[in-house]
């Protein structure tokens, strides 16, 4: 059995990633928060019915993270650092800074350190706005940049045994709560490939880097339909 730990694996991109890895025959640890417990159980049962194994791990990544022994005893070969929070903030927002850094950086440091002995490949999901800040989300962007820097450093520190890469997605399906149709249309028209990405695009990129790209480490793969290649700042 070959296990992968996927954080934030019960919704949107995280669920697509878990499904893509499971579809490749990988057993998946579905990390989730307390509020996503029911969804995690449903996903676990569905995946188990379709081949490889799946288990759930509940943890609040905003709090100091201790990886439970049963997870480390699975000897995970893969980890996807996907869990995220996305809230607006300004530079002086110390509470937001603490939470964003806890979820995006400190939790992943704890998880990867605990799993280091058996890992073969790690992928972190960051954001194209790490390189092109959009404004209004200071600590989200800074903490995602810190996660990206962590993976690029580990690509050197943990070589040659563990490959470490980053997927930086651009525009993916808009949250259901966002109803600014004019803004959505403007964004869609600014993407050279002519469409907003879907979660399958993200999951496919993660699967490639995690499982297949055996001579690739320390890289950032931008998945944004070409938008950041030409869009003005």
**Tokens encoding 39:** 């969804």
What's the rounded Cα separation, in Å, for the pair 174 and 139?
21
For the chain, how many helices (H) and strands (E)?
9, 7
What secondary structure letter does DSSP report for 195? S
CB 82 within 8 A of CB 33: no
Strand partners, 121: 78, 163
Looking up tokens 């954001």 gives 127
CB 14 within 8 A of CB 6: yes
What's the rounded Cα separation, in Å, for the pair 227 and 223?
9
Is 140 a residue of the active site?
yes
CB 136 within 8 A of CB 163: no
What secondary structure letter does DSSP report for 84? -
The catalytic residue among 78, 86, 140, 215 is 140
Q: Which of the residues are catalytic?
A: 140
């Amino acid at each position: 059995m070959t296990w992968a730990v996927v954080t934030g694996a019960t919704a949107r991109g995280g669920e697509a990633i878990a499904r893509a890895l499971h579809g490749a025959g990988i057993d998946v640890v579905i990390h989730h928060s307390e509020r996503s417990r029911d969804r995690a159980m449903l996903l676990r049962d569905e995946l188990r019915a379709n081949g490889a194994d799946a288990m759930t791990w509940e943890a609040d990544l905003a709090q100091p993270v201790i990886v439970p022994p049963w997870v480390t005893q699975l000897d995970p070969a893969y980890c996807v650092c996907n869990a995220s929070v996305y809230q607006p903030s300004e530079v002086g927002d110390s509470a937001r800074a603490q939470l964003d850094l806890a979820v995006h950086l400190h939790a992943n440091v704890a998880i990867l350190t605990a799993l280091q002995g058996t890992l073969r490949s790690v992928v972190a999901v960051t954001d194209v706005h790490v390189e092109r800040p959009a404004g209004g989300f200071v600590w989200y962007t800074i903490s995602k940049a810190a996660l990206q820097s962590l993976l690029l450093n580990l690509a050197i520190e943990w070589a040659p045994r563990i490959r470490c890469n980053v997927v930086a997605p651009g525009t993916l399906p808009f949250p259901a709560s966002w109803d600014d149709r004019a803004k959505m249309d403007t964004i869609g028209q600014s993407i050279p490939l002519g469409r907003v990405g879907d979660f399958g695009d993200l999951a496919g990129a993660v699967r490639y880097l995690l499982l297949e790209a055996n001579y690739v480490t320390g890289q950032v793969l931008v998945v944004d339909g070409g938008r950041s290649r030409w869009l003005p700042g």
